[in-house]
Amino acid sequence: MSIEIINITKKFNSHLALEGVSFTVEEGELISLLGPSGSGKTTLLRILAGLETPDSGEVLFSKQNITSIPVMERNIGFVFQHYALFRHMTVEENIGFSLKVKGVPKKERAKRVNELLELVQLSSLSKRYPTQLSGGQKQRVALARALASFPKVLLLDEPFGALDANVRKDLRRWLRNLHKEIKVTSIMVTHDQEEAFEVSDRVVILNHGKLEQIGTPDEIFHHPASPFVMKFLGNVNIFHGRIESGQAKLSLESSSSTQLYIRPHDWEISLQKEEDFIESTIEYINAASSVVKIDLKTTNHQDLQVDIPYEKYKDMNLKKGMVVYLKPKEARVFVEDYVI
């Protein structure tokens, strides 16, 4: 089922949570709503679920306006950050709840519950209570419960937010495979860009209630539409500088008005002084990964982050306190939408 979000605005007292947000989700797509806390992503998800009503704007499910249809008639599946499992019910009772309230006969219910238990690989724990499960298991039960009565849309509110880093990674991959299998249109809220990029077909970036950019992970990472997106996607070095014949020239004086955005992996690093290279001192090295993260300080005390491959780091034999020379390979400027 496709979803159209048309010009949604929502205010909480005087706080503008969403302002004129519009975009379309295609049938079977998995979309992430990505943004910092307070960006309005959860509010938007709750509006789609019917748990909140927008002040203005419309939501269409398969071209039908459902803005004023109550939650229980929308046939959605909602997964909460803190699972919201019914704590006095067993795993199978939790999963079968939506079928029970809809009056599905016991036999049919049991069959569907078993299917779902297999889908989320929890058949052996069907008689357990939520308190007897781990975080990852709880979230899988919550997902199975949300899927029980064949929802047209699956909405996930920071589904991995309360889990350990390792479990989170596993579950992420698992969710992507599950989505491939069941193909239900899904929208997931997250504040973790890695998660959004790994799981979703397209990513919607929200900031202060406004849509900043929508696109595939690739588009968003390589063509960020605004300084906000650039900064949000990862540590970025901001320098004052100027553009000369299509080349970015850094200047260490802050008098220059143009801001250059340079990603940590977009630096050339050299041990010899060369033209246009800036001098920096290595302050800290984190080599515990295939990409070595280096913190530096320029001669005018500006902090700088540079990522280089581990092999290069070995070859150059870099050490804390060494002086090196840097030049940006690629820089972005957002003044007057001018991107080089």
Partner 1 sequence: MKSSKLVKFFLIGIMILFLGIFVVLPMISLLVNAFKEGLKVYFNAIVHPETLHALQLNLIVAVFSIPLNLFFGVVCAILISRFEFRAKNILLTLIDLPFSVSAVISGLIFILVFGLDGWLGKWIEEKGFQVIFATPGIVLATIFVTFPFIVREVLPVLEASGDEEEQAAFTLGANSLQIFYYITLPKIKWGLLYGVILSTARVMGEYGAVSLVSGHISGLTDTLPLRIDKLYNEYQVTSAFAVSTILVGFAFVTLMLKLFIEQLKRKSHS
Nearer to partner 1, 87 or 183 (CB): 87
Of the candidate residues 7, 36, 64, 71, the single one contacting partner 1 (CB under 8 A)? 71
Q: Is residue 182 within the footprint of partner 1 (CB under 8 A)?
A: no
Binding mask 138-157 for partner 1 (x = CB under 8 A): -------xx-xx--------
> Pick from 7, 15, 22, 101: which binds partner 1 (CB under 8 A)?
101
- The yes or no reply on residue 12 touching partner 1 (CB under 8 A) is no
Q: Which two tokens stand for residue 59?
A: 């939501």
Q: 7, 55, 64, 86: which one contacts partner 1 (CB under 8 A)?
A: 86
Q: Which residue of 15, 87, 106, 173 would you call a contact of partner 1, by CB under 8 A? A: 87
Would you count residue 2 as binding partner 1 (CB under 8 A)?
no
The correct pick among 21, 34, 47, 85 for binding partner 1 (CB under 8 A) is: 85
Among 97, 228, 261, 277, binds partner 1 (CB under 8 A): 97
Would you say 82 or 223 has its CB closer to partner 1? 82
Minimal distance in Å, beta carbon 74 to partner 1? 8
Binding residues for partner 1, rule CB under 8 A, total 26
**Please, which residue, 51 or 110, has the CB nearer to partner 1?**
51
Q: Footprint of partner 1 on this chain (CB under 8 A)?
A: 49-51, 71-73, 75-78, 80, 82, 84-88, 97-98, 100-102, 145-146, 148-149
